[in-house]
């Protein structure tokens, strides 16, 4: 069995900054409520005509990651793309990246695991390297969420949280001590409807929505049972982290940097307290980008690396929880 390691990191966020005050143009909300409940101060939202989509933002992040890895698109053997906001209902965005980047006709796989999408994507890519099937894999998390939100007061519990952006990593075969030590993924489908977009779906196709048009039927917007999600998140995040640490005979004190999915600053602070971790052991950047779902971990990982917070030999742990419910962690030695 081989081991895989990260050799390149990149991120891209749209230029357009949307502050909490800007949101008051659309809905009845205020900066104090959003900061106090979520920690979010601003987020990036694409604007019509700027060309940003899940696929194109993913490509921009991937180009940076490739350059930092010293590789070209022709060196990539496989693409794993995590998103809940693909350009098309089908095909997935991975195939667009294959084309836009100019890769060979390699395989491209989309992962539909929302907030834990990147943890699942990294886990998946790691397996292909472990078996020796592929050597260099491009793993992307990218989201264009701003176009799918209910920006009226009705949707404010969800609309203020989400942001756009992309992050990418290059995973390659490791010949030394560094690499992914283990991955841990879970799901509990009985809670699928607590955080969901129901349309389009098999039983709810778009033509039915058009035929039975009812302005009060909001199944085409994200629905989130916020309190319920919060309560499960603060249990599952620490569980996933501890499961990963215990599998490697490690403790929270051994973590050099925890990269939690940026769901809500309050959730991250709860996890930090529960695991008795110091401020310098945890990465938070939700204040600037909001919750970018599958993109949040690779964006935070890249930003931490750019800030010099990740050095060779460091133990980096990712953890996520979200729609599904799904959750998990990756334990990585840099």
> In terms of CB distance, is 175 or 228 closer to ligand COA?
228
> In terms of CB distance, is 35 or 130 closer to ligand COA?
35
* Total residues interacting with ligand COA, rule: CB under 6 A: 22
d(CA 65, CA 251): 30
Active site residue 261: yes
- Which of these is catalytic: 113, 115, 183, 184? 115
Using rule CB under 6 A, residue 148 touches ligand COA: no
Active site residue 115: yes
> In terms of CB distance, is 23 or 275 closer to ligand COA?
23
d(CA 283, CA 307): 11
Using rule CB under 6 A, residue 33 touches ligand COA: yes
d(CA 317, CA 252): 10
Backbone angles phi, psi at 35, to 5 degrees: -60, -45
Q: By 3-state DSSP, what share of the chain in percent is helix, strand and coil, each rounded to 5?
A: 40, 25, 35
Q: Which of 54, 111, 263, 304 binds ligand COA (CB under 6 A)?
A: 263
Q: Which of 11, 43, 68, 156 binds ligand COA (CB under 6 A)?
A: 156
Indicate the residue whose CB is closest to ligand COA: 226
User: Which residues inside 51-90 make contact with ligand COA, applying CB under 6 A?
Assistant: none
d(CA 238, CA 276): 11
Using rule CB under 6 A, residue 291 touches ligand COA: yes
> In terms of CB distance, is 107 or 157 closer to ligand COA?
157
Using rule CB under 6 A, residue 21 touches ligand COA: no
d(CA 327, CA 69): 28
Backbone angles phi, psi at 65, to 5 degrees: -60, -40
CB of 153 to ligand COA, least distance (A): 8
Using rule CB under 6 A, residue 315 touches ligand COA: no
Give the chain's end-to-end CA distance (angstroms, integer): 19
d(CA 211, CA 264): 38
160: its two tokens:
């203020």
- Which of these is catalytic: 52, 113, 264, 291? 291
Q: From start to end of the chain, where are the E strands?
A: 3-12, 17-19, 42-44, 78-82, 107-111, 136-143, 165-174, 179-187, 195-196, 223-224, 257-260, 315-322, 326-333
> In terms of CB distance, is 96 or 264 closer to ligand COA?
264
CB of 224 to ligand COA, least distance (A): 6
131: its two tokens:
């078996």
- The residues, any chain, with a CB within 8 Å of residue 168's CB and separated by 6 or more, are 8, 9, 10, 11, 58, 61, 62, 64, 65, 138, 139, 140, 141, 298
The SS3 call for residue 256 is coil
CB of 292 to ligand COA, least distance (A): 11
Q: Which of 191, 223, 230, 334 binds ligand COA (CB under 6 A)?
A: 230
User: Which residues inside 186-225 make contact with ligand COA, applying CB under 6 A?
Assistant: 195, 224
> Catalytic residues, which ones?
115, 261, 291
Residues that bind ligand COA (CB under 6 A): 29, 33-34, 37-38, 115, 156-157, 160, 195, 224, 226-227, 229-230, 233, 263-264, 267, 291, 321-322
């Amino acid at each position: 069995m081989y081991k895989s390691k990260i050799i390149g990191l990149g991120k891209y966020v749209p230029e357009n900054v949307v502050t909490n005050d800007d949101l008051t143009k659309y809905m009845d909300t205020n900066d104090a409520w959003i900061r106090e409940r979520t920690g979010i101060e601003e987020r990036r939202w694409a604007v019509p005509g700027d060309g940003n989509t899940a696929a194109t933002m993913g490509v921009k992040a991937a180009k940076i990651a490739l350059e930092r890895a010293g590789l070209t698109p022709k060196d990539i053997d496989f693409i794993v793309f995590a998103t809940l906001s693909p350009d098309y209902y089908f095909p997935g965005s991975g195939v667009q990246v294959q084309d836009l980047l100019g890769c060979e006709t390699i395989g491209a796989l989309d992962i539909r695991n929302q907030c834990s999408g990147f943890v699942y994507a990294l886990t998946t890519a790691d397996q292909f390297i472990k078996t020796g099937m592929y050597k260099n894999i491009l793993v992307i998390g990218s989201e264009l969420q701003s176009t799918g939100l209910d920006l009226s007061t009705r949707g404010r519990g969800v609309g203020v949280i989400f942001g756009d952006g992309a992050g990418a990593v290059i995973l390659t075969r490791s010949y030394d001590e560094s690499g992914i030590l283990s991955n841990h993924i879970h799901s509990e489908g009985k809670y699928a409807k607590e955080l969901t977009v129901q349309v389009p779906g098999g039983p709810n196709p778009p033509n039915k929505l058009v035929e039975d048009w009812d302005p009060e039927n909001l199944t085409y917007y994200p629905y989130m049972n916020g309190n319920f999600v919060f309560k499960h998140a603060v249990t599952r995040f620490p569980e996933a982290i501890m499961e990963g640490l215990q599998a490697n005979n490690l403790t929270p004190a051994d973590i050099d940097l925890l990269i939690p999915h940026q769901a809500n600053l309050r959730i991250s602070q709860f996890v930090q307290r529960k695991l008795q971790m110091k401020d310098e052991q945890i990465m938070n950047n939700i204040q600037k980008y909001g919750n970018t779902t599958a993109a949040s971990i690779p964006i935070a990982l890249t930003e931490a690396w750019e800030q010099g917070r990740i050095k060779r030999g460091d133990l980096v742990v990712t953890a996520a929880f979200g729609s599904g419910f799904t959750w998990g962690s990756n334990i990585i030695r840099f």
